[in-house]
Chains A and B, each alone.
Chain A
Amino acid sequence: MTHEEIIQGLYDHTLVGNAPEVRDLVNQGLADDLDPEKMLYDGLIPSLEEVGARFERGDFFVPEMLIAARAMQGALDILRPLLAETGAKQVGTYVMGTVKGDVHDIGKNLVNIMLEGAGFTVYDLGVNVAPETFVQQIQEHSPDVVGFSAFLTTTMPMFKANINALEKAGIRDDVIVMVGGAPVTQEYADKVGADGYAPDASTAVRLAKDLIERKRSAVPA
């Protein structure tokens, strides 16, 4: 197999969620001295972005999205240590969780995988995460960004409660706050004082990078 064929294979098999084949191709790529970064940025990430786009259009359904994400996750498990070794750029650190009172995690998990694929280190706190847990985990990991996810109109007010908790702990300005979830709007994100909102996973990743970039450039060297 040529390197091009391996990259194409990674794209095609991630798209249909064939995890064993994706893993085999990654290993074959490594054996053939194919650059791990190239596999990630030319094969895996474009594929998962296409999955996201199809899902947004209604052409892909939840199980298809999840098995694609799982195939990507399997590849990342192999590639992550190698990417770290080769000094691939560390984009940022992200603490993520579904807010207290809410146990929905399908969308959150997808965003996590997209973030990891894009080079973020992600600490996933799971579902039903209390404000004090967010505070404590932010203090422990000092992330660039914290993400609050809510799927219910009734749990969205926890965004504000979380931000209040960050303020009370004196760490609000240490971290970028992003919010998301099916019922969330830009208007609501602005109202609760979040720094960013994205309607889908790929936008969330781009926005996280932008916000980090802006914050870093705003700090005098």
Chain B
Amino acid sequence: MDTVLRSRSRTVVIGSGQPFCVIGERVNPTGRKGFQAQLQAGDLSQVEVDVAEQVAGGADMLDVNVGDPLADEVELMRQAIPLVQELTDLPICIDSSIIEALEAGLAAYEGKALVNSVTGEDERLEAILPLVAHHGAAVIALANDDEIPMEPQRRLAIARKIVSAAGDFGIPPEDIVIDALAMPVGAEPRAVTLFVESVRLISEELGVNTICGASNTSFGLPGRHTLGATFLAIAQSHGLTSAIMDARAPQCVEAVRAGDFLLGHDEWGARWIADFRAKQAAAAT
């Protein structure tokens, strides 16, 4: 099943036969007090820096989150989306927990966006799915409701409910990407094994694409990029097709590109070798 996302001029496809989709996570003020202060002042200049770094790092798409409780998030989103589309032709993942901000982002976006996100809670489904349907977008759906189930079977059940609810609004399964919930392994030793089992179940049973916030896994731990890269490779081998991740970390991006090659999504290593040559050329200049 292929999930197709578009900007004005570029198409990205998420799918089990496709290269892994790297969605850069950096345009997000969480944990960045400086960026938060800028957003409160209506200043989006940091976005330019973040976009450039992630494009250079090899992102396929960019997540855009400008949420700050002391700022006007709806207005910021209205401005941020065209700004990012000026800076790059990568398709965008519009990220907010505020419905009006998602709406503003979708209205401003040119192309087919990915909406981040809906959960299995009825009120969220009823508020967000009509928006997604109206704009012909795709949506990330978190496999949780009012709590995060630890059992993969329960995550599958919530994913199934969401796919069915989306169908009622005319959203096809290929436009739903299930977030199988990567949790901090530092807080729960089984976090990754339960996650990959959920990915396997959800992709086998529902056939839909899967995603996660990959950096969650290494929260509060040393050696985050090594853990992130290894996590991504493990998850990819269990069928994960995309991740919102640190596209500025070469280790993490290289891990999934190597995974593409090793798992048969980059035949003869054409992209792997081309990336190598590009780096070689960049280093020589």
Which residues from chain A sit less than 8 Å from chain B, CB to CB? 61-63, 65-66, 101, 103, 106, 126-128, 152-157, 182-183, 185, 187-188, 191
Contacts and interface: CB of A to CB of B under 8 A. Distances in A.
Given A61-B221, A152-B67, 11 more contacts: A62-B184, A63-B187, A106-B219, A127-B148, A128-B146, A153-B30, A154-B67, A154-B69, A155-B97, A183-B31, A187-B70
A63 B221 contact: yes
Interface in B10-57: 29-31, 33, 36
B119 to A, nearest CB: 9
A65 B68 CA distance: 29
A183 B36 contact: yes
B36 A103 contact: no
Nearest to B31: A182
Contacts of B146: 128
Contact of B186 (A62, A103, A157): A62
Interface string B213-224: 000000111100
Given A62-B220, A66-B186, A183-B36, A156 B144 contact: no
A61 B67 contact: no
B263 to A, nearest CB: 30
Given A66-B187, A128-B147, A153-B69, A61 B222 contact: yes
B98 interface: yes
Contacts of B187: 62-63, 66, 106
B96 interface: yes
Contacts, number: 58
Interface residues of B, number: 24
Interface centre among B69, B187, B221 (most CB of A within 10 A): B69
A31 B184 CA distance: 39
Nearest to A160: B69
8 contacts: A61-B220, A65-B220, A153-B30, A153-B67, A153-B69, A154-B65, A157-B69, A182-B31
B97 A154 contact: yes
Given A62-B219, A154-B96, A183 B30 contact: yes
Nearest to A62: B220
Contacts of A101: 97
Given A61-B220, A183-B31, A188 B70 contact: yes
A208 B186 CA distance: 28
Nearest to B97: A154
Contacts of A191: 70
B69 A188 contact: yes
A153 B222 contact: no
Given A106-B184, A128-B147, A153 B29 contact: yes
A153 B221 CA distance: 22
A202 B92 CA distance: 41
A126 B147 contact: yes
